[in-house]
């Protein structure tokens, strides 16, 4: 098929495929005028926010007493059935409002109602602006190290978990991040080690394996 002058399609060579196309669509659609709604967006695709939008609790004030915050909790305020426990959403995808618009969730790896409920509750308990849940501790640590840029420096306690040690020495160091080990049980040593390039201080308490 070839695009015609008026935006339709003309048959370049006869065949059953083209006949079926005309039978179902015909000349009703001018493909030169069909545009996805997002084409008029001025920002780059990589600048679009991830879904769902993360809840922010920077100005949140919990009316409950601290001892009650752990047990008095509405995990699904938008659920019409108001379950006392948050359902576990095991689906991988979610139905969208239309082919050209997003709902609150699209793919469970980028957002899931169960994970959102956990993050919201942890953020409130810790009086934090936001919380992020990961499948493992190393996934969380790896994400934190991605905040560092080439030329930045990270201070780390000298007695550290082997997985984190390998992440720093075999990954971060090769990406231009300077890793500096220091005895974090000695605050004077930590203060002396801090430089203008220091962007992150990572400690473990108790440390692994010496339990310091």
- In whole angstroms, give the CA distance from residue 75 to residue 89: 13
Alpha-helical (H) ranges within 44-154 are: 66-69, 113-125, 137-145
Check residue 74 and give its pLDDT. Answer: 61
Check residue 206 and give its pLDDT. Answer: 85
Check residue 6 and give its pLDDT. Answer: 46
Q: Angle at CA 14, nearest 5°, toward 10 and 16?
A: 105
Check residue 136 and give its pLDDT. Answer: 92
- In whole angstroms, give the CA distance from residue 118 to residue 113: 9
Structure tokens at 136: 């493992």
Check residue 48 and give its pLDDT. Answer: 60
Per-residue pLDDT 10s for the chain (212 aa) are: 444 444 444 544 455 655 665 565 556 555 555 454 555 556 665 666 555 666 666 676 666 666 665 555 566 666 777 777 788 889 999 888 887 777 888 888 888 888 888 888 888 778 788 888 998 999 999 999 999 999 999 999 988 898 999 999 999 988 899 999 999 888 999 999 999 999 999 998 887 878 87
Check residue 76 and give its pLDDT. Answer: 66
């Amino acid at each position: 098929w070839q695009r015609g002058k008026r935006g339709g399609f003309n048959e370049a060579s006869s065949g059953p495929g083209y006949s079926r196309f005309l039978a179902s669509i015909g000349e009703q659609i001018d493909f030169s005028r069909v545009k996805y709604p997002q084409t008029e967006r001025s920002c780059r695709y990589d600048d679009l926010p991830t879904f769902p939008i993360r809840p922010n609790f920077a100005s949140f004030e919990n009316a409950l007493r601290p001892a009650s915050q752990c047990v008095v909790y509405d995990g699904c305020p938008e659920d019409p059935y108001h379950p006392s426990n948050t359902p576990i959403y095991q689906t991988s995808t979610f139905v969208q409002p239309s082919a050209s618009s997003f709902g609150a969730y699209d793919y469970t790896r980028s957002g899931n109602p169960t994970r959102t409920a956990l993050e919201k509750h942890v953020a409130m308990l810790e009086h934090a602006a936001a919380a992020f849940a990961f499948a493992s501790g190393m996934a969380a640590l790896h994400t934190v190290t991605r905040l560092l840029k080439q030329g930045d420096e990270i201070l780390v306690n000298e007695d550290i978990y082997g997985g984190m040690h390998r992440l720093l020495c075999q990954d971060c160091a090769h990406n231009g991040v300077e890793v500096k080990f220091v005895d974090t049980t000695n605050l004077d040593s930590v203060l002396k080690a801090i430089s203008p390039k220091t962007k992150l201080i990572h400690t473990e308490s108790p440390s692994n394996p010496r339990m310091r």
